[in-house]
Amino acid sequence: MLSFITAGALLWATLVLSSPAPPPTPQGGVGLEATPSYHVTSDFDFQSLNLALNQEYIELDLFHHGLAVFSVEEFEAAGLDAEDRFLIEFMADQEAGHAILVSNMLGARAAKQCNYTYPFDTVREFVDFCQKLTRFGESGVYGFLEHLDNRASAEMLLQSITTEARQQMIFRQFEGLFPMPVYFETGITQSMAWTLLSRYITHCPEENPRIEWQNFPALYVVNDPTQRALAMNVTPSITHNLSLPLTTPGQQVELTWEDPGKTVGYDGLYTTTTTAGAPKYAAWIAQLNITYTPLENINGNCASTKQPIGEVFGVNTAPIVNGTIFVLITDDNPVITPANLSLLNAHVVAGPAIYQAG
């Protein structure tokens, strides 16, 4: 036995001594310190993760709620069997794990779970809502992840949001949609995500830290293509070529929006605001693009516009607008790219609304 180990050690030593030197580590990189700390320090990080935690909590509640309020028969009629329901249950478990992770990074002041209100009456509407809620949860994190001061917490948040991205795609599959009709998953700002999230939170523990992002006035798509998606007689499937796309580039879109000054969010604690001037454009946030189309027929808080035409990199399978995307009303059309998207906040008159393009 002893001689066997000795022989092994000898062989190992010979291999190490005869092996060439490893290549030097390339220069550069950030956040490569030996003992990273995952605790947030800056206000920007705290508030970004505070928003993310509130998002994780609603997902956890939503998945349980759907499983609790619909009967087995209702799920089966929507084509979702016991194994599909177990997958939704497992997604709730994942959310509980994400909430623990983000709470740990936030420390003692981390928010607790709240009470929520949901806009669905049927299993198909529940699945559609899950697909949209996880879309803005995912995009909301992509909007700030690369701007966090603490790269260590960004690393772990990334590892949770990649899981959420899979959830979003699975809910699209449960809805019978094409699972991922884009080349790039888009990001939105914290204020845009908070505007979408705040309307579903009704009551929170008093000690929850205030969410310090802007609430924009709400925007609605009057001729919402979601109705077409819900009416389609499609069953859950890994992928579906829809016989007709939900929307087409250039089609007319009717929009209506609220004035600022409305009380929103939980416990009457938040008010919508805007710093923008008169409404002039619809801003479409999708793929890598922030694209503007002029508003037409502006009449008070209503206007129409056209769905953008164009493709990412000019590739015909990548129309700019496809999947579950975001549209806002703006007072200007500044050039914005994904990494300076927060400069758009000052120009937002209302929105975002979710636009169900495909």
Ligand X SMILES: *[C@@H]1O[C@H](CO)[C@@H](O)[C@H](O)[C@H]1NC(C)=O
Which residues contact ligand X by CB under 6 A?
A: 113, 115, 178, 181, 241, 245, 247-249, 288-289, 310, 312, 317, 319-320, 322, 334-337, 340, 343, 358
Which CB atom, from 71 or from 317, has the smaller least distance to ligand X? 317
Least distance in angstroms from the C-beta of 293 to ligand X: 11
Q: Which helix (H) or strand (E) holds 17?
A: helix 2-18
Considering the complex, what minimum distance in angstroms separates the CB of residue 115 from ligand X? 4
Min dist CB 241 to ligand X, Å, is 4
Residue 49 host element (H or E): helix 43-69
Alpha helices in 70-187 (DSSP H): 72-77, 82-106, 123-145, 151-174
Q: What CA–CA distance (Å, rounded) separates 346 from 219?
A: 16
Q: Shortest Cβ distance from residue 340 to ligand X (Å)?
A: 4
Q: To the nearest 10°, the Cα dihedral for 116, 63, 285, 180?
A: -170
Query: Closer CB to ligand X, residue 162 or residue 340?
Result: 340
Q: Which residue has the tokens 């496809």?
A: 322
Are the C-beta atoms of residues 282 and 242 closer than 8 Å to each other? no
Q: Which residue's CB is nearer to ligand X, number 257 or number 284?
A: 284
Q: Which is nearer to ligand X, 64 or 85 (CB)?
A: 64
Measured between alpha carbons, how far is 343 from 335 in angstroms, rounded to an integer?
10
User: CB of 237: closest distance to ligand X in angstroms?
Assistant: 12
Minimum Å gap between C-beta 252 and ligand X is 14
Query: Nearest-5° angle of CA 266, CA 271, CA 277?
Result: 150
Nearer to ligand X, 181 or 187 (CB): 181
Given the complex with ligand X, which of 92 and 336 has the nearer CB atom?
336
Q: Is 340 left (phi over 0), alpha (psi -120 to 50) or beta?
A: alpha
Nearest residue to ligand X by CB is 310
In eight-state DSSP terms, residue 24 is P
Query: Using an 8 Å Cβ cutoff, are 258 and 301 in contact?
Result: yes
Judged by beta carbon, residue 61 or residue 84, the one nearer ligand X is: 61
Q: Least distance in Å: CB of 276 to ligand X? A: 14
Residue 95 contacts by C-beta under 8 Å, 6 or more apart in sequence?
Answer: 56, 57, 59, 60, 63
Q: Provide the 10 A C-beta neighbour count for residue 7.
A: 10
Closest separation in Å from C-beta 177 to ligand X:
9
Residue with Cβ nearer ligand X (282 or 336) = 336
